Amino acid sequence: MWIRSIGARKKPARKRAGQTLVEILVALGVLETVVLTSIEAFATAFTAELRIQEKANKASYAEWWFNRLGFPVSQADIDAAPRTDEYGKMRFDWDTTPGDHNTFYVTLRVSNGTGTDVPFTISRVY
């Protein structure tokens, strides 16, 4: 009898007809993690692009403001500089600090017209 059992094949393991509840919940958890991570990555990339565009826009307005001063620049020219652009879209605030040899430092802050954002700051020496 043992000779017969040596050559006999084992019965294949019976395949399960369905999945268990635990397997389904784990699969849904993994799927949820992948979907939420993808959405967050997309949103971060999208808002980063908007912040870069906003910073570039404020930098161009800062150049517009400095170009309105002309050269040579006096303290009176800076005091007479515009506080907003032509359309009121951007607001400009600045500080002047005296330097050596009749020079002064101008620190310009550009923000949107409502002032609810982080201002773009740039400095120049005149």
DSSP string, 78-110: HHTS-SB-TTS-EEEEEEEEE-STT-EEEEEEE
Residue range 69-92, pLDDT digits in tens: 877 777 778 888 888 887 778 888
Give me the pLDDT at residue 101, please.
Answer: 80
Per-domain residue ranges for the chain?
A: 21-125
pTM: 0.59
